[in-house]
Amino acid sequence: MSSISFFRPANTSEACELLAKPNYLAVAGGTDLIVKLRNGLFPNAVALVDISALPFKSIRKEGDRLIIGSGCTMSAVISNPEVNEYFPVLVKAASTVGATQIRNAATLGGNVANASPAGDTIPALFALEAEVMIVGQTGKRKVAIDEFFTGPGRSVLKAGEIIEGFALPLRKTAGEFLKLGERRAHAISKINLALSVFNDGQKRYRIAIGSAAPTVLRCKGAEELLEKAGEIDAATLEKAAGFACETAKPISDVRSSKSYRKQMAGVLLKRALKAIL
């Protein structure tokens, strides 16, 4: 790492100009990136561009959206009254990211930009139908969270672009986030699941499963089943769990087996539904 240059741009325009250069990497909290650099996963890295001073740390209402800046730490998300009031699933997901020291540094934008299918806040953002707000040299754009990821570690983010924040529809939701790992803290998920429920005249369910495919997946079959069912009984729970198992497309790796992950997708959905119902 001693050969890598370091820049701390004073504004967004300067940051985007630097990040348009080949092998210039954005860093905010650095809880993922620095580990990867030390492990040799970015052998061609030329420079780090510290974006932590950019004005992306606010949480504010804009019309019918809540805007959460990409530079907000997990601790900031967890402690914000409006996020707690409207989006408990995101609070619960952020609460599982590492331990306190990690949550004080890790940012929401970094967790998403890392594009890991096991990223804990990503299923929560799927379940809340978030939009990713992107700024670059040619202007700004928004991308639906379920269109942002193209594969493990890959996204639609272009050279010279930065995640500015996330726009979430401002509606009160009930929510649950569950994950399975080797231990309670510092554990990468074997599988995780986010569930959000809201009412727009009819009860709506949003379910997202992580670490079960190259990208996070929405479980639309279970969502439709639950919305049509009305009262949710034991039989409906089992059918919904079956949809979750079918939706999961995991692999076997050092953390878990394919068959275990598929089975636990259904178990986690049943647990999440029981918790909020």
Number of domains in the chain: 3
Read off the amino acid at residue 227. Answer: E
Q: What CATH code is carried by the domain that includes residue 118?
A: 3.30.465.10
Which of 134, 169, 204 is the endpoint of a domain? 169
| Structure tokens belonging to residue 265 | 């997708």
Residue 45 shares a structural domain with residue 79: no
Confidence at residue 184, expressed as pLDDT on a 0 to 100 scale: 57
Residue 194 shares a structural domain with residue 109: no
| pLDDT tens per residue, range 162-179 | 999 999 999 999 999 999
Which of 112, 141, 169 is the endpoint of a domain? 169
User: Degrees (nearest 5) of the Cα angle 221, 146, 214?
Assistant: 85
C-alpha span between 195 and 276 (Å, rounded): 9
Residue 35 shares a structural domain with residue 133: no
Residue 245 shares a structural domain with residue 210: yes
Residue 195 shares a structural domain with residue 255: yes
Residue 196 shares a structural domain with residue 245: yes
Residue 66 shares a structural domain with residue 157: yes
Confidence at residue 199, expressed as pLDDT on a 0 to 100 scale: 94
Residue 159 shares a structural domain with residue 127: yes
Read off the amino acid at residue 108. Answer: L
Confidence at residue 183, expressed as pLDDT on a 0 to 100 scale: 60
Residue 136 shares a structural domain with residue 75: yes
| pLDDT tens per residue, range 189-230 | 899 999 999 999 899 999 999 999 999 999 999 999 999 997
pLDDT in tens, the chain (277 residues): 568 999 999 999 999 999 999 999 999 999 889 888 988 889 999 999 999 999 999 999 999 999 999 999 999 999 999 999 999 999 999 999 988 999 999 999 999 999 999 899 999 999 999 999 999 999 999 999 999 999 999 999 999 999 999 999 999 999 999 999 766 556 678 999 999 999 998 999 999 999 999 999 999 999 999 999 978 999 999 999 999 999 999 877 767 788 899 999 999 999 999 999 8
Residue 67 shares a structural domain with residue 161: yes
Residue 216 shares a structural domain with residue 242: yes
Which of 169, 188, 212 is the endpoint of a domain? 169
Among all chains, which residue has been given the structure tokens 């609070």? 91
Q: Please give the full DSSP string across the chain, using - where no structure is assigned.
A: -TT-EEE--SSHHHHHHHHTSTTEEEESS-TTHHHHHHTTS-TT--EEEE-TTSS---EEEETTEEEEETT-BHHHHHH-HHHHHH-HHHHHHHTTSS-HHHHTT-BHHHHHHTT-TT-SHHHHHHHTT-EEEEEETTEEEEEEHHHHEEETTEESPPTT-EEEEEEEE----EEEEEEE-SSSSS---SEEEEEEEEESSSEEEEEEEESSSSS-EE-HHHHHHHHHHSS--HHHHHHHHHHHHHH------SS--HHHHHHHHHHHHHHHHHHH-
Enclosing domain of residue 36 = 5-50
Residue 74 shares a structural domain with residue 150: yes
- Say how many Å lie between the first and final Cα of the chain, rounded: 50
| 8 Å CB contact between 155 and 248 | no
Instruction: Give the list of residues 6+ apart from residue 140 with CB closer than 8 angstroms, or none.
Output: 133, 134, 164
